[in-house]
Amino acid sequence: MRAIITATELAHELRPGATPPVLLDVRWQLSVAKAAGAPAFDGRAEYAAGHLPGAVFVDLDRELAAAAGAHGRHPLPDLAEFGAAMRRAGVSADRPVVVYDGGQGWAAARAWWMLRATGHPDVRVLDGGLPSWQGDLSTQTPAPAGGDFVPAPVAGLLDADGAAALARTGVLLDARAGERYRGEVEPIDRVGGHIPGAVSAPTTENVGPDGRFLPAAELRDRFKALGVSGDTQVGVYCGSGVSAAHEVLALAVAGVPAELYVGSWSEWSSDPSRPVAVGADPQ
C-alpha cells in the first residue's frame, strides 16, 4: 500500500462521480515562542479560511495526542477518544483516508502513523501538503456521516527502554535538527543531546525544496548511508513524536518498516537518570 499521494492523483480520486477518500486536514505548527506576544498558530482558523472541499479538521494536540506530561509533549491519545474523533470525521475501516497539512508534512504524518498503527488499511499523505493542491478551496465545514473505524492496540511502538536497546542492536534514527542532536542548542527540553547510539538523520533531508519527498531510490540510498540495510531493525525519535512520524513515513516510501518512539526526547530528557550523549558521535 502506497503511503503518499500526489495532488494530481488526489484530484483524480475527487473527480465527480468517483467515491472520494475521507479527507483530514491536520494543520499544526510546533509551539515555540518566537517573540514576546506573538500569537500562537491556529490550525482551526487556517482550516476555516480555506481547505480542500470535504476535508474535516483534526486537532493534533487534542485528537492525535494526550496532554503533555511524564511521557512527553505529545504522548499517545486515549484510544477510545482517538477512535471517537476519527469516527466523527467520517473515518471507516473500508474507506481510504488522505491526510494533509500546511506543507511541512509532520502533522499529516502523525495522523497517518496513528491510523496505520491502530489498524486502518489504507491511509496516504498528500505529498507537499496544501501548497501542492492546484484546485479550489472551500470555507464550508462539512458534516460527514459517522464512520465505523475502531482502533486496534498500537503496533510498531517503542518505549524509552526499547529505544535504548535498539540503539545498540539496530539503528535508532534521531529526526531532529543536527544542532539539537549534537546538544549545541535546545530550545524546548531540559537538556540537549541525544540517546546514546542514535544516529543523526534530520527529517528535513528527506524532502526537496518544494516539501515533497525525495524519490524512493534516493531515500533508500540516504538510509543505507545511515546504516539501514537488509533486515536491520529501525526506530525513530524526535522531540515529541511528530517529526519522527514524518521520518517513519519517509522510510515507508523507501520500503523500510520502522518503529516510532512516541515519547522521544521530551520524555527521555525529562528523567535525569537517563544517559545523554552530545556531539556528532552517536556514542
pLDDT tens digits, 165-216? 999 999 999 999 999 999 999 988 889 999 999 999 999 999 999 999 999 9
Q: What confidence tens digit (pLDDT) does each residue in 219-256 have?
A: 999 999 999 988 899 999 999 999 999 999 999 999 99
Considering only residues 121 and 30, tell me which one the structure prediction assigns the higher pLDDT: 121
Considering only residues 40 and 65, tell me which one the structure prediction assigns the higher pLDDT: 65
Per-residue pLDDT at 78 exceeds 60: yes
Q: Where are the alpha helices (DSSP H) in the chain?
A: 7-13, 43-49, 60-63, 79-88, 106-117, 160-169, 178-181, 216-225, 243-253, 264-268
List C-alpha distances in Å: 87 to 22, 90, 149, 215. Answer: 11, 5, 6, 33
Three cell numbers written together for 229: 540495510
| pLDDT band of 38, cuts 50, 70, 90 | low
| pLDDT band of 67, cuts 50, 70, 90 | very high
3-state secondary structure of 172: strand
Distance CA 55, CA 51 (A): 7
Per-residue pLDDT at 33 exceeds 70: no
Q: Are 243 and 216 in contact (CB under 8 A)?
A: no
3-state secondary structure of 194: strand
| pLDDT band of 37, cuts 50, 70, 90 | low
CA 236 to chain centre: 11
In this prediction, residue 31 carries a pLDDT of 59
Q: Which of 7, 65, 238, 260 is catalytic?
A: 238
In this prediction, residue 35 carries a pLDDT of 46
**Which residues have a Cβ under 8 Å from the Cβ of 251 and sit 6 or more positions away?**
219, 223, 228, 234, 236, 257, 258
| pLDDT band of 280, cuts 50, 70, 90 | very high
Distance CA 161, CA 240 (A): 16
Considering only residues 148 and 41, tell me which one the structure prediction assigns the higher pLDDT: 148
Three cell numbers written together for 86: 476519527
Q: What is the mean pLDDT of residues 79-98?
A: 97
Average pLDDT across the chain, whole number: 94
Distance CA 134, CA 137 (A): 9
In this prediction, residue 40 carries a pLDDT of 79
Q: What is the mean pLDDT of residues 147-170?
A: 97
Q: What is the mean pLDDT of residues 272-279?
A: 96
Nearest residue to 187 (alpha-carbon basis) of 135, 226, 240: 240
Q: Are 265 and 183 in contact (CB under 8 A)?
A: no
Nearest residue to 113 (alpha-carbon basis) of 264, 215, 259: 259
Residues of the chain with pLDDT > 90, as a percent, come to 92
Which residues does residue 18 pair with via DSSP β-bridges, in sequence order?
Answer: none
Q: What is the mean pLDDT of residues 119-134?
A: 97
Strands (E) across 72-162 are located at 97-100, 123-126, 157-158
Helices (H) and strands (E) in the chain, counts: 10, 10
3-state secondary structure of 55: coil
3-state secondary structure of 176: coil
Distance CA 270, CA 69 (A): 10
Residue 238 annotated in active site: yes
